[in-house]
Amino acid sequence: MSTTSVIPFQPPFVNNNTEPEGLTVQKGNSTRAVHEGRSPNPYHSIADPLVSTATYTFEDSQDLHQYMKQKIWGEATGRSEYGRYGNPTISAAEARLAALEGAEDALLFASGMQAISTVLLHLLSHGDHLIITDNIYRKSRQLCTVTLPRYGIECTVVPINDFEALEKAILPNTRVLFSESPTNPHIRLLDVERFAATAKKYGVISIVDSTFATPFNLRPLEWGIDLVVHSATKYLAGHNDLLAGAVAGRTELISGLRDFQGVIGAISDAYVASLLIRGIKTLGIRLDRQNQSAQRIAAFLASHPKVEKVWYPSLESHPDYAIGQRQYKGFGGVVSFTVHGDGETTERVIDALKIPLLAVSLGGTESLVSQPAIISYFELSRSEREALGIPDNLIRYSVGIEDVEDLIADLDQALSLI
């Protein structure tokens, strides 16, 4: 097994979309989603070829020598020797992800949690300290507060957007600040500008999980964040048919992470990458629909007499409304709300809904609904759940691409049962 640095796999084809010399064409995210990362191939296919292989051949020993010299010198080789170190279909997906985030490079993983865990294990060592904000995805919090301490890595949790508490928590051995925005399930918005500035002030690395936002609603790197992570399973793929994760950022950070990825084998697969590319091409259209539909649904719920409280950042009642107006282009398709009544009443409302499917996850074409107290926090006591802000009457609604009038009418008839 080679111990040299892993060079990103670059398909050895010429890009026909090269701009004329001296001419720069401004491209929006939907244009990037469709075209960036595409390289012409021997088959002249519009879709990126699915290259399903575990290993790669060499013409002869001289060819192998030349490849190894280029690899050791850090030059682009246009190929790889083994599937764990590179694949042209995966590289095409990574190029699109990097372009969408405005990043220099990106890496694809088998899941969002694999992306997060690989990044943190790469950046942190025994004796280091990281800080996370509250209200983040439960498994991310478990990783940081339960798993990492087993390896001598200390974690402190601070309230989101409490920058006084954040600065007080920073220690000489603090290496990473990690947050999520929007958060799950209360759709809190991180002030990414202040978060990035705080990290830079103390010389630590800032990481933001931007799964709920996508690059269409927020590009954290543009606000000074060092690394952005995604569960590509959600909006990026968009069809509830694959698991994937991604990390994007500066080359100096991604290159070391790429080496580490090759060592521990935290890789994706070419077939998943091909499906992800297909999903990314329609991300802009889907997210526009989901942004607009979720905003209308949130407004409807906020005015409904059977609804107790709504969490969605387009509402002025949301605690981060002002941040959203300054930094975000949209707020995604997840609306969380509580109804008047107990857990059993909440279950009746959910069971009465005709369109959304009862399931975890979000960001796909189908609307999904869940009761977090049961589907995510079932093993905790009621008092433990409520301490985390998860009451029994909380509903998380992930808006799909169905007609919003149908979704609202369906919610209205279900709420009428209360």
Residue 50 lies in a domain: no
Confidence class for position 22, pLDDT limits 50, 70, 90: low
Residue 7 binned pLDDT confidence (cut-offs 50, 70, 90): very low
- How do residues 241-291 score in pLDDT, each as one tens digit? 999 999 999 999 999 999 999 999 999 999 999 999 999 999 999 999 999
Q: In this structure, is residue 242 part of a structural domain?
A: no
CATH number at residue 119: 3.40.640.10
Verify that 222 and 134 share a domain, yes or no: yes
Q: Are 210 and 220 in contact (CB under 8 A)?
A: yes
* pLDDT, position 116: 98
**C-beta contacts of 71-74 below 8 A and 24+ residues apart:** 71/2, 71/4, 71/5, 71/7, 72/4, 74/5, 74/7
Give the active site residues.
84, 137, 209, 234
pLDDT digits (tens, 9 = 90+) for 152-163: 999 999 999 999
Domains identified in the chain, total number:
2
Give the closest residue to 212 by CA, choosing from 365, 358, 337, 362: 362
Domain stop point among 232, 247, 275: 232
The last residue of a domain, from among 193, 214, 232:
232
Secondary structure (3-state) at 78: coil
**CATH number for position 371:** 3.90.1150.10
Best CA proximity match to 100, nearest among 217, 11, 17: 217
pTM given for the model: 0.90
Per the structure, the complete domain to which residue 357 belongs is given by 284-415
User: Following DSSP, what letter does each residue of 223-263 receive, concatenated?
Assistant: GT-SEEEEETTTTTT-SS----EEEEE-HHHHHHHHHHHHH
Residue 414, classified by CB atoms within 10 Å of its CB into exposed (0-12), middle (13-18) or buried (19+), is buried
The domain boundary residue, chosen from 204, 232, 260: 232
